[in-house]
Amino acid sequence: MTELILIRHGQTELNRGPFFQGQIDVPLNATGLAQAARLAERLADERLEVIACSDLLRTRQTAAPTSRRLDLDPLLEATLREQHFGAFEGLSFDECIARHPEAFAAWQRHTAAFAVPGGESVERFHARVLAALRGIALRHAGRRVAVVTHGGVLDMVWRTAHGLPLSGPRVCPTPNTGINRVRVAGDAFEVLAWADDAHLAGLPAPDTPAPAADVADRLQASIAPASPSAR
């Protein structure tokens, strides 16, 4: 049995709007760096023995202040990366609607078997994430382990712990640098605490992406037959 402290990376510029960030290697913005510093203060007394993180820059930058404070070299794990969104990566939702309307419409149905062209389905992503976290828990059994990763990874853990299907939109909160405590015992995941971001009090509130309904309306307009007056 191992307790993992799962942490989403700090804010990036692409987090400020509805973009597909995926596995492109973008840095934290100024807010994200401030969040990472606050996280290090929060974790200073946790008696951590291991820090593992995705090998992408935004997670490494998030882990860095805590690593320095605790004198722990982070273990970089490519298997902890965000879901690969293929042709969508780096694009805003509006850009996806304009360039890949049919693929975006299929993605919006949130079926677990669907993969964006050149990307990774939720089914494959889930299998990768769970294998990675179970491996970390097994290799560091009984130790206090922090894992700095991505929002999609946290979603896979939440669904697994609560017995939820892989299809359907994300329902769990995943604030940047939020602390999520999970117990791993064999194949089972148990959520002990979730989305604790009390350490961010006083920092600017993050921007909120456009509501899903607004995006859906724009998509419908882009693929609907043109009206006679528009021809």
Residue numbers annotated as active site? 9, 82
Give start and end residues of each alpha helix (H) in the chain: 30-43, 57-70, 93-99, 101-108, 122-139, 151-162, 212-223
CA 183 – CA 179 distance, rounded (Å):
13
Four-point Cα dihedral 182, 129, 200, 213, nearest 10: -110
CA 95 – CA 140 distance, rounded (Å):
43
Closest to 105 measured CA to CA, from 225, 15, 17, 222: 222
Q: How are beta strands 75-76 and 145-149 bridged, if at all?
A: unpaired
Element (H, E) at 2: strand 2-8
* 8 Å CB contact between 96 and 104: yes
Q: Which residues pair with 4 in a beta bridge?
A: 145, 182
CA 183 – CA 177 distance, rounded (Å):
19
- Rounded to 10 deg, the angle between the 101-108 and 212-223 helix axes is 140
